[in-house]
Amino acid sequence: MQFYAFDDSDAHDTRPSTPPMTDASRLAWLRLIRSDNVGPVTFRQLVNHFGSAANALDALPELARRGGARARIRIAGLDEVEREMAIARAFGARFVALGEEDYPARLVAVEGPPPLLAIKGGSGVCRRPAVAIVGARNASLAGRKMAAILARGLGEAAFVVVSGLARGIDASAHEASLDTGTIAVFAGGLDRLYPPENAGLADRIVEAGGALISEMPFGWEPRARDFPRRNRLISGVSLGVAVVEAALRSGSLHTARFAAEQGREVFAVPGSPLDPRAEGTNDLLRNGATLVTCAAHVIEALSPIVGRRFEPATMAETGDDELDRPLDVPESARRRVVEALGPTPVAIDEILRATGVRPGELHLILMELAIAGRLERHGGGRVGLVM
């Protein structure tokens, strides 16, 4: 599977077409990402290092042992992922791999994009330029009206509207963009919609040619810790994020923070200083977000970048040379890296300078620690030990 730069000018994705992934490869990818301690970044490192998901699966037990795992890690079995594939087909969904045509165009360029997405609904909607609209669940009537005005204006300008299918602002944004294209991102499996009261809206999104997407397994009930992962996808598939009514410490502000980290535009609708639902949006404005009161403001800001080419995230986190991929490392190098790490996140380049290990050695040591469940990854390519 190759990864290409792309250009979505004139609302079209012009990435070169790639050969379709074989069923065996798709099953191996699903097995690997469903195995213990394999997140998106570790997945890409494993495939990059071992050449395929199948080879990486064979290597997992030894990697976990060398990383100091305290117990045997769970590796997803073929029967497990075949069952999930069958559930997806019965649900009317499919698994789309990173690099395939239907994979959301902008998402390929973020740090650690999901290797596989479950998608139900239209495929073309994922290849068009998109803007996220998020905000309070307990939104005011004025806030919901503003979200709908933004969504309709963006839809008329050929932008897809992305949100999280929550109550309030999210639901209003989806409703207003049904006819022009909308994407709902789930925190749980596609068969575990939250909140349940929006099931009818989800059905209408699919019927209108929009899409439902999730990186989580079918059957996965969303937990509080899963919503930040969903918010990262909401911003990742979008050119920018518009926040309409958000209290301080709300999930919508997490989405805005992810957007800023991913190089997306952040927009905010100003609100009354007397309304706690406007504290978060007003704070965004105070810290540099673009003030918007209509869709034209968003469109004006995004027009110069709609056709910009974005390079996909690199396959190797350390940027090591393809020939520098050792199958094992000296114990002394492993010890120096572990001693340099702690619970405080540190940049990988800093670890390289401090330990003197080769990039390929560090790449492998970090994979071992991750598979063993001893490494926590943070934004900006920083890592820390799980204590």
In angstroms, the CA 83 to CA 189 distance is: 14
Q: Are residues 78 and 133 in the same domain?
A: no
Q: Are residues 146 and 209 in the same domain?
A: yes
pLDDT in tens, 55-114: 999 999 999 999 999 899 999 999 999 999 999 999 999 999 998 989 998 999 898 999
Q: Are residues 84 and 128 in the same domain?
A: no
In this predicted structure, the answer to whether residue 6 has a pLDDT above a threshold of 50 is no
Give domain status of residue 101, yes or no.
no
Give the tokens for residue 310: 């974005």
Amino acid at 204: R
Mean pLDDT over 266-288 rounds to 96
Question: Which band of pLDDT confidence, cut at 50, 70 and 90, is reported for residue 311?
Answer: low
Query: Are the CB atoms for 93 and 190 separated by under 8 Å?
Result: yes
| Cβ count within 10 A of residue 337 | 23
pLDDT in tens, 207-249: 999 999 999 999 999 999 999 999 999 999 999 999 999 999 8
Cis peptide before 195 (omega within 30 of 0): yes
Give domain status of residue 52, yes or no.
yes
Q: Are residues 283 and 364 in the same domain?
A: no
In this predicted structure, the answer to whether residue 11 has a pLDDT above a threshold of 50 is no
Angle formed at CA 210 by CA 206 and CA 215, multiple of 5 degrees: 90
Q: What is the pLDDT of residue 13?
A: 46
Residue at a domain's end among 74, 92, 110: 92
In angstroms, the CA 126 to CA 68 distance is: 41
Q: What is the pLDDT of residue 2?
A: 32
Which range of residues forms the domain containing residue 14? Answer: 9-92
State the chain's mean pLDDT as an integer: 90
Query: What sign results for the dihedral spanned by CA atoms 25, 28, 34, 39?
Result: negative
Question: Which band of pLDDT confidence, cut at 50, 70 and 90, is reported for residue 309?
Answer: low
Q: Are residues 219 and 257 in the same domain?
A: yes
Q: Are residues 195 and 275 in the same domain?
A: yes
Q: Are residues 155 and 209 in the same domain?
A: yes
Tell me how many domains the chain contains.
3
Q: Are residues 129 and 223 in the same domain?
A: yes
Query: Are the CB atoms for 89 and 120 separated by under 8 Å?
Result: no
